[in-house]
């Protein structure tokens, strides 16, 4: 699976949009971009995933560049409860291992 690069930490003001970038310059054509987050003392939580089109759900929006070498997770109105480590994961639609490869993630701190 392709490696991803994320900033180690970011701050965001409560109520503002949080834009979390992810670089995946070696992504291949059949690899998806997944986002998970881990709130302190909880297990990772699925947020969203996409292949090449932008995606939106009740939690967030995912913007993938046209060349697919990078993406941005957008939390439109961040709250204090969105403080967490956010993981960008690139993986094949199907691989024999079926595993998610977690990197270091971005620690998002939402401040009042």
Contacts with other proteins by CB under 8 A lie at: 36, 38, 41-46, 49, 92-104
The DSSP code for 5 is: B
The alpha carbon of 81 is separated from its chain's Cα centroid by a whole number of angstroms, namely 16
Nearer to other proteins, 42 or 58 (CB): 42
Q: What's the min distance (Å) between Cβ of 105 and other proteins?
A: 8
Q: What are φ and ψ of residue 87, in 5° steps?
A: -115, 125
Rg (C-alpha) for the chain, rounded Å, is: 13
Beta bridge partners of 55: 62
Min dist. Cβ of residue 58 to other proteins (A): 13
In the bound complex, what is the minimum distance in angstroms from residue 6's beta carbon to other proteins? Answer: 12
Pick 29 or 41: Cβ nearer other proteins: 41
d(CA 25, CA 46): 23
Nearer to other proteins, 92 or 109 (CB): 92
């Amino acid at each position: 699976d392709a490696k991803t690069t994320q900033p180690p930490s970011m701050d965001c003001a409560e109520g503002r949009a949080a834009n979390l970038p992810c670089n995946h310059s070696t992504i291949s054509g059949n690899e998806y971009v997944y986002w998970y987050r881990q709130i302190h003392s909880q297990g990772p939580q699925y947020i969203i995933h996409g292949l090449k089109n932008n995606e939106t759900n009740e939690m967030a929006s995912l913007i993938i560049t046209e060349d697919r070498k990078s993406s941005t997770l957008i939390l439109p109105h961040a709250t204090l409860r969105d403080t967490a480590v956010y993981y960008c994961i690139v993986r094949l639609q199907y691989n024999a291992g079926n595993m998610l490869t977690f990197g270091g993630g971005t620690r998002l701190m939402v401040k009042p």
